[in-house]
Amino acid sequence: MKVLVAMSGGVDSSVAAARLLAAGHEVVGVTMRLWGGESDTGCCSVTDVDDARRVAQQLGIPHHVWNFGDEFEARVVEPYVEAHRRGLTPNPCIECNRHLKFDRLARRAAAVGFDAVATGHHARVVERPDGTRRLARGVDRAKDQSYVLYVLGQRELARTLLPVGETTKDEVRAEAAALGLRTAGKSDSQDVCFITSSAGRRGFLERRIPLRPGRVVDEAGREVGAVDAVELVTVGQRRGLGLPGGGEPRYAVEVDVPRATVRVGPARELMTGAVVLEQVVWADGPVTGPVEAQCSAHGTPRPARVEPPGPDGRVTVRFDAPARRVAAGQSVVLYEGDEVVGGGIATAAPPGGSGP
């Protein structure tokens, strides 16, 4: 089989390429050039491209760099900026997977004759008795990346290989070291590639949109603090709100960007019985009933029930017990056991019907 391996310059994709080569496949490495601006974190730096190229040389496979910068700007960066302008909390890595790695890259790979695309994500593709496929958690639960891949449907899963999903991260590193790969000891990339550690999120955004100071008010509407940029405040945030010390801890419970106002309240005001999802993606058709809902990349799954989709396609997920509210713009991924059944983006809309 002819396989294109998306080589990010990290140890996982390096070992993924080595395993596919050892299995007898025709392997070609490709590194996507996504971000042309400043980058000192994430997976888009010049060093990462060089590491991927050198690993490909060590393995004796061809390596190419494909430039998808325009698509990345339009599909990931601009929506990220717009989300902050609206007071949402986006996850750009999920959108990169949705639009670039498993769409644009996969379509180009198919167009030039590749049978499959492989990545170094810690997740698995499992085939069910009826022939459908689902994404499943990686064996190494501490490194599981199925949350950020929930956007993959049947078409994508049929042409995706995840060679390290059955392996722990320690085993991956040991294998890379045994092969003498230069990435064996390289640390993981955990940050957004277009946000530099020096300028941070604020520095990036203020070059693209005006950031406005905002008032912080309590439950009674009294002004109790201030923020430098209301667009950077996330529901659930405690620090950076200019609140006086002492007393019960208070958190941002509502962010009103048009009015440049943040309302704070005690932790109990962050608790909710449900979340409404939009842009819902199903692995192999809508599900209802009991699931486990994971509300952040490394969060603890919450027992919940999925209600039938509404006429607008939105889905209400009701938690079995009150849970901390999900910031609008974040993804909620739904599991049956270790298998992803779907997911969507949390809205600020109140759930319909009566509470749990």
Same-domain check for residues 11 and 41: yes
Alpha helices in the chain (DSSP H): 11-22, 46-59, 69-72, 78-85, 92-96, 105-111, 154-158, 169-179, 200-205
User: Domain residues for 290?
Assistant: 271-346
Same-domain check for residues 282 and 254: no
- Amino acid 246: pLDDT: 78
Let me know if residue 8 belongs to a domain: yes
Same-domain check for residues 66 and 46: yes
Same-domain check for residues 15 and 117: yes
Same-domain check for residues 173 and 217: no
Domain boundary among 202, 230, 265: 265
Residue 96 annotated to the active site:
yes
180's CB contacts (< 8 A; 6+ apart) are 58
Same-domain check for residues 120 and 243: no
Same-domain check for residues 33 and 71: yes
Let me know if residue 194 belongs to a domain: no
pTM above 0.85, yes or no: yes
Decide: 249 and 268 in contact? Cβ < 8 Å.
Answer: no
Domain boundary among 265, 296, 328: 265
Q: How many domains does the chain have?
A: 3
Decide: 273 and 351 in contact? Cβ < 8 Å.
Answer: yes
Let me know if residue 81 belongs to a domain: yes
Decide: 254 and 262 in contact? Cβ < 8 Å.
Answer: yes
Let me know if residue 122 belongs to a domain: yes
Same-domain check for residues 132 and 58: yes
Residues 250-264 pLDDT 10s: 999 999 999 999 999
- Amino acid 144: pLDDT: 96
Given phi > 0 = left and psi -120 to 50 = alpha, else beta, which region is 39? beta
- Amino acid 42: pLDDT: 54
Residue 69's domain is classified under what CATH number? Answer: 3.40.50.620
- Amino acid 350: pLDDT: 78
Let me know if residue 192 belongs to a domain: no
Residue 306's domain is classified under what CATH number? Answer: 2.40.30.10
Same-domain check for residues 116 and 235: no
Same-domain check for residues 51 and 105: yes
- Amino acid 352: pLDDT: 63
| Catalytic site residue from 43, 44, 93, 193 | 193
| Catalytic site residue from 43, 44, 96, 295 | 96
Decide: 92 and 205 in contact? Cβ < 8 Å.
Answer: no
Residues 27-73 pLDDT 10s: 999 999 998 776 655 555 678 899 999 999 999 999 999 999 999 99
Let me know if residue 322 belongs to a domain: yes
Same-domain check for residues 117 and 223: no
- Amino acid 43: pLDDT: 59
Residue 223's domain is classified under what CATH number? Answer: 2.30.30
Domain boundary among 219, 248, 265: 265
Cα 265 from Cα 283, distance rounded (Å): 38
DSSP state, residue 247: S
Q: How many CA atoms lie within 13 A of 121 on its CB side?
A: 26
- Amino acid 10: pLDDT: 93
Extract the residue ranges of the chain whose pLDDT is less than 50. 353-356
Same-domain check for residues 28 and 85: yes
